[in-house]
Amino acid sequence: MGDPVTIAIVAATATSVVSSVKQAQIAKKQASFQKEQYESNKKIAIKKAEYDTVQAKDRHEFQMGSNLSLATRSGVDTFSSPSFLAHTSYNARVLNDNLAQIDLNKEASITRANLGISQASLGARYAVWGAVSDIGNTFASSSYKLYQLNKDDAPTTDVVN
């Protein structure tokens, strides 16, 4: 086992194993960073939706106050005027549509983030299994090379007559 070829095969095997393990560790760390980023994106989507909801409600209140002020100054009875009631109904519908769109955008962002988290986890898992496979392949290949080397160096038992 002390010959240079055997030492080179063992050294190459050790280097390959260490490299495969490091690649798996790096893939897991990268997946962890990606998960953190996606979790952050989910939190941002929720905060943005909360902010947008408050803004939409504020715009609605301002519009309703503006309409009420205009109607009152014009002498319109706000509880029986068909046009004022239609305006009120329309503004409520616009608010509800805006809130639904905000919620839909939030859910889409969260779904994208969840898919990203799943993909990152899957990528890390496959990287680890790939490393295990590489290590197994390296050991098998190196073992076969050593077997062939030892077989070629074995003394022959040829009978000479």
d(CA 23, CA 29): 10
pLDDT of amino acid 27? 84
Binned average pLDDT, 10 residues per bin, the chain of 161 residues: 73 82 85 92 96 96 88 82 85 94 96 91 81 80 77 60 51
d(CA 32, CA 40): 12
- Neighbouring C-beta atoms of residue 95, cutoff 10 Å: 17
Q: Is the distance from CB of 110 to CB of 32 less than 8 angstroms? A: no
Ramachandran assignment for 31, one of left (phi > 0), alpha (psi -120 to 50 degrees), beta (any other): alpha
Chain centroid offset of residue 104 CA: 20
